[in-house]
Structure 1
Amino acid sequence: MAVQKDLENQGKVSRRTVLAGMAGAALTGAIASRGLVGSASAQGSYKLDLGGYAGPELTSEPVTLRFMRQDFTPDVNALLEAAYAEFKAAYPNISIVEEKVPYGDLQKKLLVYIASGDAPDIMMGRTDFTDAYHAGNVALPVQDYFSADYINDIPANLRAAASSGGNLYSVPWETSVMMLYFNRDLFEKVKMQTPPEVTGLDGGWTDEELVANLVEMNAKLKEAGDNQSWALAAAGQGNGGPGANYSQLESIWIRSQGDPNAAKDSAAYKTLMGISDDGFTVSGHIDTPEAIKGMQFYQSLFAKGLTPLGPVPNQYPGGLAATYFGGLNFTNRFRVPGKEPPFKWGVSLPPKGNIVFNGNGSDAPLVWSKSQHPAEAVALLSYLCNDKNRLAFHKTWGSMPSRTSLREQMSVFATEQPFKMAQALSDASYSVPRSPGYFDYFNAMNPAVKDIALGADPAKVLPDTAAKIDRLLAKYRR
Structure 2
Amino acid sequence: MSKRWYLVLTVLIAALFMLVGCAPAATPTPEKVVETVEVPVKETVVVQVTPTPVPEAPKPTGKITVWGWTAALRDTLEASGVLADFQAEYPDIEVEIVYYSPTDVYTNLPLALTAGEGAPDVCLVESSHLAEYVHLGGLLDLTDKVAPYIDIMNDYRWFDAEKDGKYYALPWDSGPVVLYYRRDAFEAAGLPSDPDSVGEMVSTWDKYFETCKTIKEETGFYCFAHNKANNYARLYEMALWERGLGYYDPDTGEVTVDSPENIAVLEMFGRFWEEDLCSDALEWDDPWYGELASLEQPIATLVEASWMDIFLKSWIAPGTAGKWGVTYMPSWEEGGVRAANDGGSTFVIPEQTKNPDAAWAFVEFCLGRRESQLKMFAISGFIPALETTYDDALFLEGDTFFAGQNTRKIYAEVVAKIPRAGIYGPDYNMMNGSVSVAIQRYATGEATAEEALGEAAAEIRAALE
**TM, length-normalised to structure 1:** 0.72
RMSD of aligned alpha carbons? 3.3
Matching residue of 2:42: none
Q: Which blocks of at least 5 consecutive residues in structure 1 are unaligned?
A: 1-42, 46-55, 223-228, 261-271
Matching residue of 1:293: 264
Counterparts of residues 114-263 of structure 1 (less than 5 Å): 114-116=113-115, 117-146=117-146, 148=148, 150-194=149-193, 197=196, 204-222=202-220, 229-233=221-225, 243-244=231-232, 246=234, 249-256=235-242, 258=243
- Tell me how far apart the structure 1 counterparts of residues 278 and 451 of structure 2 sit (CA, whole Å): 23
1:58 maps to a residue whose letter is: K
- Tell me how far apart the structure 1 counterparts of residues 77 and 129 of structure 2 sit (CA, whole Å): 25
- Report if the CA contact (8 A) 2:176-2:339 is conserved: no
1:426 maps to a residue whose letter is: V
Counterparts of residues 7-406 of structure 1 (less than 5 Å): 45=56, 57-60=58-61, 63-72=62-71, 75-76=75-76, 78-79=78-79, 82-116=81-115, 117-146=117-146, 148=148, 150-194=149-193, 197=196, 204-222=202-220, 229-233=221-225, 243-244=231-232, 246=234, 249-256=235-242, 258=243, 272=245, 274-277=247-250, 280-282=253-255, 285-311=256-282, 312-314=287-289, 315-319=291-295, 320-331=298-309, 339=318, 341-342=320-321, 344-354=323-333, 355=336, 356-359=338-341, 361-385=343-367, 386-406=369-389
- Report if the CA contact (8 A) 2:175-2:343 is conserved: yes
- Report if the CA contact (8 A) 2:68-2:100 is conserved: yes
Deviation readout 1:33-64 (Å, 9 max, x if unpaired): xxxxxxxxxx974xxxxxxxxxx74344xx22
Q: CA deviation at 1:394?
A: 0.9
CA distance 1:388–1:215, change in 2 (3 Å): same
Q: CA deviation at 1:177?
A: 1.4
Q: CA deviation at 1:378?
A: 0.8
Which is worse superposed, 323-332 or 463-472? 323-332
SS at match of 2:379: helix
**TM, length-normalised to structure 2:** 0.74
- Report if the CA contact (8 A) 1:179-1:326 is conserved: yes
CA distance 1:195–1:431, change in 2 (3 Å): farther
SS at match of 1:197: helix
- Tell me how far apart the structure 2 counterparts of residues 168 and 202 of structure 1 sit (CA, whole Å): 40
Pick from 412, 421, 439: which aligns with 1:449? 439
- Report if the CA contact (8 A) 2:263-2:450 is conserved: yes
Q: Which blocks of at least 5 consecutive residues in structure 2 are unaligned?
A: 1-53, 399-404
- Tell me how far apart the structure 2 counterparts of residues 334 and 362 of structure 1 sit (CA, whole Å): 18
Q: CA deviation at 1:68?
A: 0.5
Q: CA deviation at 1:202?
A: 8.3
- Tell me how far apart the structure 1 counterparts of residues 202 and 253 of structure 2 sit (CA, whole Å): 34
- Tell me how far apart the structure 2 counterparts of residues 230 and 395 of structure 1 sit (CA, whole Å): 33
- Tell me how far apart the structure 1 counterparts of residues 162 and 417 of structure 2 sit (CA, whole Å): 18
Q: CA deviation at 1:290?
A: 2.3
- Tell me how far apart the structure 2 counterparts of residues 287 and 191 of structure 1 sit (CA, whole Å): 40
Identity %: 17
CA distance 1:369–1:439, change in 2 (3 Å): farther
Matching residue of 1:9: none
- Tell me how far apart the structure 1 counterparts of residues 214 and 386 of structure 2 sit (CA, whole Å): 40
Deviation readout 1:248-299 (Å, 9 max, x if unpaired): x32133455x5x6xxxxxxxxxxx25423565431xx222222212111212
- Report if the CA contact (8 A) 2:292-2:299 is conserved: yes
Aligned residues: 390
SS at match of 2:279: coil
Report the structure, 1 or 2, having the larger helix content.
Answer: 2
Q: CA deviation at 1:113?
A: 2.8
- Tell me how far apart the structure 2 counterparts of residues 273 and 333 of structure 1 sit (CA, whole Å): 27
2:239 maps to a residue whose letter is: W
Deviation readout 1:121-152 (Å, 9 max, x if unpaired): 1111133344433322132121322462x332
Query: Which of structures 1 and 2 has the bigger CA Rg?
Result: 2
2:357 maps to a residue whose letter is: A
- Tell me how far apart the structure 2 counterparts of residues 330 and 360 of structure 1 sit (CA, whole Å): 10
SS at match of 2:174: coil
- Tell me how far apart the structure 2 counterparts of residues 460 and 95 of structure 1 sit (CA, whole Å): 55
SS at match of 1:324: strand
2:216 maps to a residue whose letter is: N
